[in-house]
Amino acid sequence: MQAEIAASTAMMPAHIHLFAMITLSTDGRTDGGVLELDADTQIRQRLIYFLRHDEKQTRKRRAMVPLCPTLAPWLDGVTGKLIRYHTPTSVKTRAAGGAEWFERPTANIANGFEGVLLAAHAARPDLGLARQVVDADGEPVWLEPRKKLGETKRRPKMVGIGTPNTLRHTIHTWHKRQGVPEAQIDAVAGYSEQGTGASYTHLRPEYLREFLTSTEAFWEAFGEFSSSHLCYGRTTKIIIMNVRRLRG
């Protein structure tokens, strides 16, 4: 499988790194799923409950997913909303000896993820993680030089190729190629009970053993490119993470 994986090095802020860790470990949805997770009410006994206790199931079911060994240490001791980002405080606050930043929950991660793709493309353009924007006539769009930065030439306006949901597609494809039963994949992904995952919806988490084995195999393969998935590499500032894509 390693021959089908390409690696790119990107600078990921801590909240996007944790988002990626959870998404790739649980096949969880972005909106209404990973971004809304609360450690105090939705993680217990090494299980993630994507359905909160005060909610009812919908057609897009919210699954109960066991914590895989690689993800579990990242969530130890965490309280409140899991996905939070650092916002700088004002100059006045810092001048008075106050904190340099404060944390707040993340409502949308699309812009931050786009920034990661653009940074990765700047570092490794050969991986094709971004492309130049074209106008309605199919002509490439260029941005004027930023004189304050000393630029003298126009630069291409770029857009990332991929979204936060690309992570979910990546791990979903991985599980299929690893031979995880379709019913387990559907159950974890939260597909309707009318689908093939219906028989797994109410089963104990240990019945997802092939899914967990496949998830750990993913992180083991990931380890050939980076150690950023291991909790000892954690930092509250910037985390260097390898973003891997499956070909095909």
Q: Is the pLDDT of residue 244 over 90?
A: no
Domain assignment of residue 141, yes or no: no
Domain assignment of residue 136, yes or no: no
Host domain of residue 27: 14-126+160-195+202-224
Domain assignment of residue 148, yes or no: no
Residue 169's CATH number: 1.10.443
Percent of the chain scored above 70 by pLDDT? 79
Q: Other C-beta atoms within 10 Å of 116: how many?
A: 24
- pLDDT tens profile 66-80: 899 999 999 988 899
Among 209, 233, 239, 240, residue whose Cα is nearest residue 69 = 209
Q: Which two tokens stand for residue 138?
A: 């199919």
Q: What is the DSSP letter of 145?
A: P
Task: Give the pLDDT band (50/70/90) at residue 58.
Answer: low
Q: Is the pLDDT of residue 203 over 60?
A: no
Residue 242 near residue 12 (C-beta atoms within 8 A)? no
Please tell me the pTM assigned to this model.
0.79
Q: Other C-beta atoms within 10 Å of 175: how many?
A: 22
Residue 245: the pLDDT is: 35
Q: Is the pLDDT of residue 248 over 50?
A: no
Domain assignment of residue 56, yes or no: yes
Residue 32 near residue 60 (C-beta atoms within 8 A)? yes
Helices (H) and strands (E) in the chain, counts: 8, 11
Q: Other C-beta atoms within 10 Å of 68: how many?
A: 20
User: Measured between alpha carbons, how far is residue 204 from residues 14, 34, 81, 102, 195 in Å?
Assistant: 32, 21, 26, 39, 19
Range in 7-21, 25-39, 139-153, 219-233 with the lowest mean pLDDT: 7-21
- What is the average pLDDT score of the chain? 79
Residue 209: the pLDDT is: 87
Q: Is the pLDDT of residue 2 over 60?
A: no
Domain assignment of residue 150, yes or no: no
**Which one-letter amino acid corresponds to residue 46?**
R
The stretch 178-194 carries a mean pLDDT of 80
Range in 86-100, 156-170, 197-211 with the lowest mean pLDDT: 197-211
The stretch 165-177 carries a mean pLDDT of 91
Task: Give the pLDDT band (50/70/90) at residue 177.
Answer: very high
Q: Which two tokens stand for residue 72?
A: 């579990």
Q: What is the DSSP letter of 90?
A: P
Domain assignment of residue 152, yes or no: no
**How far is it, in rounded angstroms, from Cα 118 to Cα 125?**
9
Q: Which two tokens stand for residue 195?
A: 């689908």
**How far is it, in rounded angstroms, from Cα 100 to Cα 206?**
44
Domain assignment of residue 246, yes or no: no
Q: Name the residue with tokens 């991929």.
A: 162
**How far is it, in rounded angstroms, from Cα 110 to Cα 116?**
10
User: Measured between alpha carbons, how far is residue 152 from residues 105, 141, 147, 149, 155 in Å?
Assistant: 39, 17, 7, 9, 9
Residue 232: the pLDDT is: 61
Residue 206: the pLDDT is: 64
- pLDDT tens profile 120-141: 888 888 888 899 999 999 999 9
- How many structural domains is the chain composed of? 1
Domain assignment of residue 22, yes or no: yes
**How far is it, in rounded angstroms, from Cα 181 to Cα 196?**
10
